Structure 1
Amino acid sequence: MQRSCRSLSRLLVSQRGFCTSTKGAESEKLVASVLFERLPVVIPKIDPLVYGFQEFSFRWRQQFRRAYPEEFLKKSDARGKGEYQIDFVPAPRITEADKANDKRSLQRALDRRLYLLLYGDAYGTPKGQPAWHFPEKVYKSEETLRKCAESALESVIGDLSHTYFVGNAPMGHIAMPPTENNNKDIQSFKRFFFKSQVIATNKVNIKCKDFVWVTKDELLEYFPEHNEYLTKMIIS
């Protein structure tokens, strides 16, 4: 029985072509990119169709609700109207950063998700030609690819105490073939995306030449060549 199991395992290994050598992988680099997002701060506005359905549903239920005596209704209306009643005034949805279109501030588009983009040297672009990109790092000697992504984000914001990485696996990847505009020393590579979120803070210190916090619609304008892929990968 043991001999048959050993022979079967050897057969599977030979058929699948397992290899532990890294010589073939040296030519293709792996890049860990971080999709660093700020979640919505306020509840998004209800869609007019949803609001209309809820109003219709409420009026429909009112037709069949139980009728209560007037005395009972008066007592329920008077409940909670003591001397400690507090007048609540909600904060405005439109902030000063929205009015000024300040994309370097997190205090904008409070009902949308915001994503961090950096402006500077990016892997795969010619040297001396800065471009907009996500926080990224080329995978070298890190224990895992996620550790590489954490290191990439840490080099930008300096501290990961107010961040949360969603899962250990990447949320997607793009195979980047060599192009004529790329550096001759850079061959094809794969860019893996990891998701991380801002936690318990409304200000992040970014160490970069320039940066922006953009919504999904604004983000797609920075990467027109990957518009279709990013639309499917980013759910907001």
Structure 2
Amino acid sequence: MFRLIHCGRVGLRLGGLNFNRVFVEMQRSCTSLARSLGRTRGFCTSKNSDKIVASMLFERLPIVIPKINPFVYVFQEFSFRWRQQYRRAYPDEFLKKSDARGKGEYQIDYKPAPRITEADETNDRRSLQRALDRRLYLLIYGTTDGASSEKPVWHFPEKVYGSEETLRKCAESALESVIGDLSHTYFVGNAPMGHMVIQPAENEKDLLSLKRFFFKSQVIATSKFKIEKCEDFVWVTKDELLEYFPEQGEFLNKMIIS
């Protein structure tokens, strides 16, 4: 048990302990530790032997509801018929009133838009008006800092991380350099959705290893972008995306859920 001894200018004493002095000593120790850590450890994002690249997965969400899987459709039909035998029986007068609803002069003939568009029929992968029930992803063709050579390749919009405040700012800058305006985009979160490390080949030992961080952004309220600073571009589904990166198929399958 601690015993109260004295309480005055010197400070509170409990059982011979001067808590003012203890607090001052703890404060000095914490300050000394912070200075020591500041000298030995600075802020660092990677080793000097790594090149960091921010890559943008630019996505267009489905516009129409996807078709129901045949097995799901059969189950829904069975479930509906099973529930029908236990449903409440309504009078015939009530059912006839509901059948006659909407048959006045104000009725408008509605014709749904086709699922298959002209871009689907011509396989125009530069159009956003295709694969309306699937997610589309933007790929551009040209030179990139993330590649080991200066030859043009298919890649996501990306940029080497340099003086930007954050890695996401770097990804935003990469996408802005391609589409020019970010007013019709929505960035999903501040953290990357995926990460991969690419080591240099045996004959490229002088090159740096590459760390690529993937961020996601989505198309908002538009059906066309003015794609610049590249030789070509395509909007492709996940299955078509794997045709351009067959060696990274396993990684993309895990990262992209669609």
Alignment partner, residue 74 of structure 1: 96
Q: Secondary structure at the match of 2:196?
A: strand
Matched, 1:234 2:256: yes
- Output the TM-score relative to the length of structure 2: 0.83
Please give the root-mean-square deviation of Cα atoms over the aligned residues, in Å. 2.5
2:170 aligned residue (136, 148, 172) = 148
The residue correspondences of 1:2-151 to structure 2 (distance < 5 A) are: 2=23, 3=25, 19-20=41-42, 25-151=47-173
Q: Residue by residue, what CA displacement relative to the aligned partner does 1:59-93 show, whole Å, maximum 9, x if unpaired?
A: 11110111122112111211222210111111110
1:215 aligned residue (233, 237, 240) = 237
Q: CA deviation at 1:10?
A: 7.5
Q: Secondary structure at the match of 1:232?
A: helix
* Structure 1 residues 14 and 220: alpha-carbon distance in aligned structure 2, compared to 1, 3 A threshold: farther
1:167 aligned residue (168, 178, 189) = 189
**What count of residue pairs does the alignment treat as equivalent?**
234
Matched, 1:201 2:201: no
Q: Residue by residue, what CA displacement relative to the aligned partner does 1:117-146 show, whole Å, maximum 9, x if unpaired?
A: 011112243444111000000011111110
Worse overlay, 61-70 or 193-202: 61-70
Alignment partner, residue 15 of structure 2: none
Matched, 1:224 2:224: no
8 Å contact 1:43–1:111 — kept in the other structure? Answer: yes
Q: CA deviation at 1:8?
A: 7.9
Q: CA deviation at 1:223?
A: 1.0
8 Å contact 2:146–2:160 — kept in the other structure? Answer: no
Alignment partner, residue 8 of structure 2: none
Provide the C-alpha distance between the structure 1 equivalents of 2:249 and 2:257, rounded to a whole number of angstroms.
13
Q: Secondary structure at the match of 1:231?
A: helix
Structure with higher Rg: it is 2
8 Å contact 1:124–1:182 — kept in the other structure? Answer: no
Q: Which runs of 5+ in 2 are unaligned?
A: 1-21
If asked which structure has higher relative contact order (CA below 8 Å, sep 6+), I would say: 1
Q: Secondary structure at the match of 1:59?
A: helix
Provide the C-alpha distance between the structure 2 equivalents of 1:109 and 1:218, rounded to a whole number of angstroms.
11
Query: One-letter code of the match for 1:196?
Result: S
Query: One-letter code of the match for 1:20?
Result: G
Alignment partner, residue 191 of structure 1: 212
Query: One-letter code of the match for 2:209?
Result: S
Worse overlay, 19-28 or 3-12: 3-12
Alignment partner, residue 158 of structure 1: 180
